[in-house]
Amino acid sequence: MAGELRETISVLTPHGDVESWSVRAVREDTGNWRVEASDGREEVWTGSGGHLFEAVCDLRTAPEAAGFRFLIAGARVDSG
């Protein structure tokens, strides 16, 4: 692997609770990015793309369809 980033982010659940999720971004030898988010229980979501931003957008698709909201800069309700 060419590089790795780890971060903890806040996520708003469909029930209105805020949880801390672990996020891991890996730049693979091919130059593509793979991003994984884990709720610390059983769910792990993944996304991939040629750029880190693209991989994060891909990652967010399934959790947001399930009602989760990533509370990251520029995505918060109160960021406007």
**CA pair distance 64, 62, nearest whole angstrom:** 6
pTM attached to this predicted model: 0.81
Average pLDDT of the residues in 31-53 = 93
Task: Supply the pLDDT for residue 79.
Answer: 47
The pair phi, psi for residue 68, each rounded to 5°, is -85, 150
Average pLDDT, the chain: 88
User: Using one digit for the tens of pLDDT, what is the confidence trace for 6-23?
Assistant: 999 999 999 999 999 999
Q: Which has more pLDDT, 40 or 70? A: 70
Quote the pLDDT of residue 9: 94
User: What's the mean pLDDT in 33-62?
Assistant: 93
Q: Which long-range contacts (CB under 8 A, 24 or more apart) does 23-32 make?
A: 25/52, 25/55, 25/56, 26/1, 27/1, 27/2, 27/3, 27/52, 28/1, 28/2, 29/1, 29/2, 31/2
pLDDT of the residue at 74: 59
